[in-house]
Structure 1
Amino acid sequence: MATEPAGPLRAWRRWRLPGRGGDGADSERGIRRAAGSAFLIRIANAGLAYVSQILMARWMGTFEYGVYVYVWTWVLLVGTVADLGFAVTAQRFIPRYTQEGDLDRVRGFILASRWVPGFFVTLLAVVAAVSIWLLDGRIDAYLVFPLYLACLALPPYGLTGAQDGVARAFGWINLALVPPFILRPLLLLAIMLGLFAAGLPLDATAAMWAAVAATWLTSIGQIAILDRRVGARLESGPRRYAHRLWVVSALPILFANIFQFMLSYVGVILLQAYRSPTDVAIFYAATKVTAIVSMVYFAVSASATHRFAAFEAAGDRPGLAAFYAGSIRWMFWPTVLVGTVILAFGKPLLWLFGAEFMAGYWLMWVLVAGLALRAAIGPGEQFLNMMGRQRLCAAIYAAAFAFNLALCLALVPGWGAMGAAVAATASIALESLLIFLAIRQNFAIRAFIGLAGATRG
């Protein structure tokens, strides 16, 4: 009769693995609770961002606020790749090593998830700063110093992204999401409010100083809390590394993230090239309103990803298939519900942007249909990444991006914003089909609402 492992591994298994009792973190009750927390955090973030943008725009004025938004957008763009894919990779390897009892590699991965992306993003920040210096005179003078400050924000921004994945791998969804989505914007707003109350000038430079301070404080605080929690969960001991395996596994995820990002913006870019700014504004407003629906996908994915790796490490394929089926249910039906509510109030929500934006109402129907279709196959991207098929996942996103680009080139010149919306939903349909086929072929799981969990003999 097999005996229960002793020490920290036993405590981990009781807390982490399916069917072991405890708090039921890996049951459907657990995924509902974690997904609900993630969804509420994103909703709170959206509300906080909306209020913050209004206040900062009023305090700074249109011009200075526009400079700040432009500069901070560069931080967001670079931040998309700053973690080098380690945020997702953490959710694959930490549960696997823990299941195997290889706690030395768990400790090694946690440290590597900081210094590998940290070295990369610091080098990137130095290169960016040198580029700004070399381009001095070609860049508008009012942008130069705020751009230098943006370089200071890049290292902690990248580290926060990487530690997000480590926290999720331990099931600490609040520690993963609250720092970047709640704490950082709150700190930024508090610093700006302090400057405003002190009567100091509020311009783009002041806002960037506030953003740099908020980003560093958030990153340091998150790492400190994470270290304390990990120390309570794992005994101190030696570290072992598998740098080549971790980097090779992370790079396809990095490329997939890049293709995902490009998918999100290709419609806007081509609308700007072929149509009027009005079309761009209407399409952008429609996508921002329907983005609330996509928060369900984010919430369930954030709470389910590391659990796929735990099932795989335990060798429990029937449990894996059943858990995947549950994740689809908790992604699809709430997506339909939220999408229905958004469409029911679509016209008033668009009217808040201005009466002319109500022309984007039918775009919302097309965009919501695509989000519902993506939800119907569940967190397939995360599933493939956790199962070691990250290259296949990156290839699927590359194909979806190429398809979206081709459709936008064909439809946007004649159909405008509706062409961009149709192209976005059609590319989601192709992406979903390819993920469905990949999961069925490689894992004998039919990843679709009502079908998931059924396996071949």
Structure 2
Amino acid sequence: MTQTVSSTTDENLNLGILAKEAGIALIIKFAGILLTYVVQVFLARWMGTTEYGIYEYVIAWSILLAIPAGLGLPHTVLRFVSQYQVKEEWGLLRGIVRSSWLMTILASLLLSLLAAGVILLLNYYHPFAYATPLLIGIGLIPLQALVNLQLETSRAAKDVTLAYAPSLIVWPVLVVCGAFLVLETTHFLTGNLAIAIAQIALLIAVLFQLGLLLLKLNQEFEPSKPVYAIREWLGVAFIVLLQYGCFIILSKSDTIMVGSILGPEEAGMYGAAVKTAEWVAFVLTIVNIVAAPSFAALYAKDDIEGLQKVVSTVAVWIFWPSLVISLFLIAFSQPVLGIFGSEFIAANWQLKILVLGRLLSTWCGSVGYLMVMTGHQNKSLPVFIYTTVLNIVLNAIAIPMIGAVGAAIATAFCSAVWNIWLSFLVVKYVGVSPLVFRGLFQQFSSKEEIGT
């Protein structure tokens, strides 16, 4: 009896800490996403659809290429640092932090050089409009890769502010200030200038974050000689790289393909719809920020009951706000897109379709993180590969036929397939149900018991 009460108390305490951390993350992430959204609105208004489309196209490519540049190390670091803290293996902890940073720098610089060579070669034989913007933005690749790594390292160190403030607050503030300064000085703002400003601003944010992260690690973790398990880390990182790379391709390939097939103006309008639809997954992202390390820790302790309780609880936290945001965006799609400019209202159907796809994802809960943080990343790899290929094929068919609406339909459908498939795998291999319906049923049942 005493053991049961103690266990329940521990679970409630863990959920209380999780709720507190989620609250902090909610404030930071909300401020960051709102700020980023406002910056996108200003840039779209200052540059117009074509120049803004060029800017969005290059940013999408930099985010995409930062994934292979990171070698899958960001999420690998998040998982292993969380485990090493529980087991107090400080040498391995310091080893993975140091080696992951060095490997990311090396890989991202090599990939940047390769990308520059490919762009120059393609432009020499077949000149294309995006060549100069892509070359200007080539430095974004290593910077984005380092942001991803330092973000996950900070999350593992349980510092949500340090994880997200540099990229979500410092970077967009510097971008909008720099863009405004250029606009006031020269009275025009092109996509190329905006890309250069974004690059300089991100460099400042990365260096700022790195300095604070090193200070935190030296203060809070036991001093120890680094121990390296490179083969083990890279083995996990390779699978994570494929998975996360597929996720980014799924989320960015539609914008890139719309820009490549339909041109920068359509890419700009579609990009505004994508940015707006991302608000639906806002709470899901927040919960994943704070819950992912708990998934790894509880599974490492073989506490499946505790893991199920956490998963069901956070699924309910995700559900209601996501539903409200979705209904709002569907009902007021035109006024919301009109914030970007009157010409962006044409993307209202793309927005509605993308919102429905994002909403279904939130019903499935934290399926991706549950598979990776519990060591079942190999089992989920086919899901990532097949749905990514399906997404590219469907986009290639639908965009020429029905335009950007086709991209929205293809992306929403593949997102649904992705999440439903992963939900089955979580039940099979992790032993918990990630769907919101279990959490809602438990919540309803507990209220009935209290009522009786």
TM-score normalised by the chain length of structure 2: 0.82
Give the distance between the partners of 1:414 and 1:210, measured in 2 at CA: 36
Summarize the Cα distance change of 1:446–1:177 in structure 2 as closer, same or farther, 3 Å threshold: same
Summarize the Cα distance change of 1:53–1:222 in structure 2 as closer, same or farther, 3 Å threshold: farther
The count of aligned residue pairs is: 434
The offset of 1:404, in angstroms, is 3.5
Counterpart amino acid of 1:306? P
1:230 and 2:217 matched: yes
The offset of 1:21, in angstroms, is 5.6
Q: 2:36 aligns with which of 45, 54, 59?
A: 45
Counterpart amino acid of 2:22? I
The offset of 1:358, in angstroms, is 5.2
Give the distance between the partners of 1:203 and 1:214, measured in 2 at CA: 17
Q: Which segment is superposed worse, 196-205 or 257-266?
A: 196-205
The offset of 1:121, in angstroms, is 0.3
> Where does the alignment leave 5 or more consecutive residues of structure 1 unmatched?
1-17
1:383 and 2:370 matched: yes
Counterpart amino acid of 1:423? A
Partner of 1:328: 315
> Where does the alignment leave 5 or more consecutive residues of structure 2 unmatched?
1-9, 443-452
Summarize the Cα distance change of 1:381–1:450 in structure 2 as closer, same or farther, 3 Å threshold: same
Deviations 1:198-236 (A, max 9, x none): 669976665555333322221111011011111221122
Q: Which segment is superposed worse, 90-99 or 73-82?
A: 73-82
Summarize the Cα distance change of 1:66–1:48 in structure 2 as closer, same or farther, 3 Å threshold: closer
Counterpart amino acid of 2:17? A
Partner of 1:120: 107
Secondary structure of 2:227's counterpart equals coil
Partner of 1:9: none
Partner of 1:441: 428
Partner of 1:163: 150
1:92 and 2:79 matched: yes
Work out whether residues 321 and 452 of structure 1, in 8 Å CA contact, stay in contact via their aligned partners in 2.
Answer: no
Q: Which segment is superposed worse, 219-228 or 145-154?
A: 145-154
- Taking the TM superposition and a 5 Å limit, the aligned residue runs for 1:32-181 are 32-55=23-46, 57=47, 71-131=58-118, 137-138=124-125, 147-181=134-168
Summarize the Cα distance change of 1:354–1:117 in structure 2 as closer, same or farther, 3 Å threshold: closer
Work out whether residues 293 and 373 of structure 2, in 8 Å CA contact, stay in contact via their aligned partners in 1.
Answer: yes
Summarize the Cα distance change of 1:296–1:176 in structure 2 as closer, same or farther, 3 Å threshold: same
Q: 1:220 aligns with which of 197, 200, 207?
A: 207
Counterpart amino acid of 2:108? V
Work out whether residues 298 and 307 of structure 2, in 8 Å CA contact, stay in contact via their aligned partners in 1.
Answer: yes
Deviations 1:87-121 (A, max 9, x none): 21122111101111101111111112201111100
1:293 and 2:285 matched: no
The offset of 1:409, in angstroms, is 6.1
Counterpart amino acid of 1:54? R
Partner of 1:249: 236
1:316 and 2:308 matched: no
The offset of 1:46, in angstroms, is 1.4
Work out whether residues 321 and 453 of structure 1, in 8 Å CA contact, stay in contact via their aligned partners in 2.
Answer: no
Cα root mean square deviation, aligned: 3.8
Q: Percent identity?
A: 24
Summarize the Cα distance change of 1:358–1:385 in structure 2 as closer, same or farther, 3 Å threshold: same
The offset of 1:335, in angstroms, is 0.7
Counterpart amino acid of 1:25? I
Q: 2:173 aligns with which of 183, 186, 207?
A: 186
Secondary structure of 1:237's counterpart equals coil
Partner of 1:15: none
Deviations 1:364-398 (A, max 9, x none): 44433322221112111011111112223332122
Summarize the Cα distance change of 1:451–1:170 in structure 2 as closer, same or farther, 3 Å threshold: same
Work out whether residues 76 and 237 of structure 2, in 8 Å CA contact, stay in contact via their aligned partners in 1.
Answer: yes
Work out whether residues 329 and 449 of structure 1, in 8 Å CA contact, stay in contact via their aligned partners in 2.
Answer: yes
Work out whether residues 277 and 351 of structure 2, in 8 Å CA contact, stay in contact via their aligned partners in 1.
Answer: yes
Partner of 1:240: 227
Summarize the Cα distance change of 1:155–1:419 in structure 2 as closer, same or farther, 3 Å threshold: closer
Summarize the Cα distance change of 1:447–1:77 in structure 2 as closer, same or farther, 3 Å threshold: closer
Summarize the Cα distance change of 1:329–1:159 in structure 2 as closer, same or farther, 3 Å threshold: same
Counterpart amino acid of 2:428? Q
1:25 and 2:14 matched: no
Work out whether residues 377 and 432 of structure 1, in 8 Å CA contact, stay in contact via their aligned partners in 2.
Answer: yes
Give the distance between the partners of 1:276 and 1:157, measured in 2 at CA: 25
Give the distance between the partners of 1:146 and 1:360, measured in 2 at CA: 25
The offset of 1:320, in angstroms, is 1.1
Deviations 1:17-75 (A, max 9, x none): x659699533x3433442443233222221133224434x28xx976x77655555543
1:399 and 2:389 matched: no
TM-score normalised by the chain length of structure 1: 0.81
Work out whether residues 152 and 163 of structure 2, in 8 Å CA contact, stay in contact via their aligned partners in 1.
Answer: yes
Work out whether residues 75 and 154 of structure 1, in 8 Å CA contact, stay in contact via their aligned partners in 2.
Answer: yes
Summarize the Cα distance change of 1:289–1:143 in structure 2 as closer, same or farther, 3 Å threshold: closer
Summarize the Cα distance change of 1:216–1:278 in structure 2 as closer, same or farther, 3 Å threshold: closer
Work out whether residues 84 and 90 of structure 2, in 8 Å CA contact, stay in contact via their aligned partners in 1.
Answer: yes
Summarize the Cα distance change of 1:139–1:68 in structure 2 as closer, same or farther, 3 Å threshold: farther
Work out whether residues 41 and 178 of structure 1, in 8 Å CA contact, stay in contact via their aligned partners in 2.
Answer: yes
Summarize the Cα distance change of 1:327–1:192 in structure 2 as closer, same or farther, 3 Å threshold: same
Give the distance between the partners of 1:48 and 1:127, measured in 2 at CA: 31
Counterpart amino acid of 1:37? I
Counterpart amino acid of 1:427? C
Work out whether residues 39 and 298 of structure 1, in 8 Å CA contact, stay in contact via their aligned partners in 2.
Answer: no
Give the distance between the partners of 1:421 and 1:337, measured in 2 at CA: 21
Secondary structure of 2:437's counterpart equals coil
The offset of 1:197, in angstroms, is 6.0
1:347 and 2:347 matched: no
Summarize the Cα distance change of 1:136–1:295 in structure 2 as closer, same or farther, 3 Å threshold: same
Work out whether residues 91 and 309 of structure 1, in 8 Å CA contact, stay in contact via their aligned partners in 2.
Answer: no
The offset of 1:408, in angstroms, is 4.9
Work out whether residues 282 and 417 of structure 1, in 8 Å CA contact, stay in contact via their aligned partners in 2.
Answer: no
Counterpart amino acid of 2:97? I
